[in-house]
Chains A and B, each alone.
Chain A
Amino acid sequence: MIPTSFDYVAPTSVDEALSVLAEAGDDAKVLAGGQSLLPILRMRLNAPEKVVDLGRIEALRGVRDGGDHIAIGAMTPYCDIVDDALVREHALLLAKAVETVADPQIRHRGTVGGALVHADPAGDVGAPVLALEATLVVVGPGGERTVAASEFFQDLFETSVGDGELLTEIRIPKHTGWGASYEKFVRVSHQWSIVAVAATVRLDGGSIAEARIGLTNMGSTPLRATAVEQALVGKGASDLAEACSAAAEGTNPPSDLNGDADYRRHLAGVLARRAVQKAMEG
Chain B
Amino acid sequence: MTRITVSVDGVSCTDEVEPRMLLVHYLRETVGKVGTVIGCDTSNCGACTVHLDGRSVKSCNMLAVQADGHEVTTIEGLAKDGRLHPMQVAFHENHALQCGYCTPGMIMQAIDLVGQNPSPTEDEIRHGMEGNLCRCTGYHNIVKAVAAAAGAMSSERSDS
Chain A residue with Cβ nearest B108: A105
A257 at the interface (CB under 8 A from B): no
Our pick among A7, A41, A55 for the contact of B66 (Cβ within 8 Å) is: A55
Q: Which residues B20-41 have CB closer than 8 A to chain A?
A: 20, 22, 25, 38, 41
Rank and list the top 8 A-B pairs by shortest CB-CB distance, nearest first: A103-B131, A8-B19, A3-B20, A189-B130, A38-B61, A1-B41, A105-B58, A105-B131
Per the bound structure, the CA–CA distance linking A41 and B43 in Å amounts to 12
B73 at the interface (CB under 8 A from A): no
Per the bound structure, the CA–CA distance linking A53 and B66 in Å amounts to 8
A10 at the interface (CB under 8 A from B): yes
Our pick among B38, B52, B57, B65 for the contact of A8 (Cβ within 8 Å) is: B65
Q: Which residues A1-56 have CB closer than 8 A to chain B?
A: 1-8, 10, 31, 34-35, 38-39, 41-43, 51, 53, 55
Chain B residue with Cβ nearest A42: B41
B44 at the interface (CB under 8 A from A): yes
Interface residues on A, range: 20 to 34
Q: Are A39 and B20 in contact (CB under 8 A)?
A: no
Q: Are B61 and A39 in contact (CB under 8 A)?
A: yes
Our pick among A35, A104, A189 for the contact of B56 (Cβ within 8 Å) is: A104
Given contacts A2-B25, A7-B19, contact A106 B128 (CB under 8 A): no
A109 at the interface (CB under 8 A from B): yes
- Which residues in B have their C-beta under 8 angstroms from that of A4? 20
A-B contact count (CB 8 A): 90
A190 at the interface (CB under 8 A from B): yes
Q: Are B43 and A38 in contact (CB under 8 A)?
A: yes
17 sampled A-B residue pairs with Cβ under 8 A: A3-B20, A7-B19, A39-B41, A39-B43, A42-B60, A103-B132, A105-B56, A105-B61, A105-B131, A106-B43, A106-B61, A106-B131, A108-B52, A108-B55, A109-B57, A189-B127, A190-B44
For the complex, would chain B's binding face be called helix, strand, loop or mixed by DSSP majority?
mixed
Q: Are B62 and A190 in contact (CB under 8 A)?
A: no
- Which residues in A have their C-beta under 8 angstroms from that of B112? 104
Not counting A4-B20, A31-B63, A43-B42, a sample of 14 additional A-B residue pairs whose C-beta atoms are within 8 angstroms of each other reads A1-B38, A8-B65, A38-B43, A38-B60, A38-B62, A39-B41, A39-B43, A51-B63, A103-B132, A105-B49, A105-B61, A106-B131, A108-B57, A190-B44
Chain B residue with Cβ nearest A3: B20
Per the bound structure, the CA–CA distance linking A1 and B59 in Å amounts to 12
Q: Are A2 and B127 in contact (CB under 8 A)?
A: no
Per the bound structure, the CA–CA distance linking A6 and B43 in Å amounts to 21
Q: Are A8 and B2 in contact (CB under 8 A)?
A: yes
Q: Please, what's the 1-or-0 string for A62-80, where 1 marks a CB less than 8 Å from any CB in chain B? A: 0000000000000000010
- Which residues in A have their C-beta under 8 angstroms from that of B25? 2
B122 at the interface (CB under 8 A from A): no
A102 at the interface (CB under 8 A from B): yes
Most buried by B among A35, A39, A51, A79: A39
Q: Please, what's the 1-or-0 string for A144-169, where 1 marks a CB less than 8 Å from any CB in chain B? A: 00000000000000000000000000
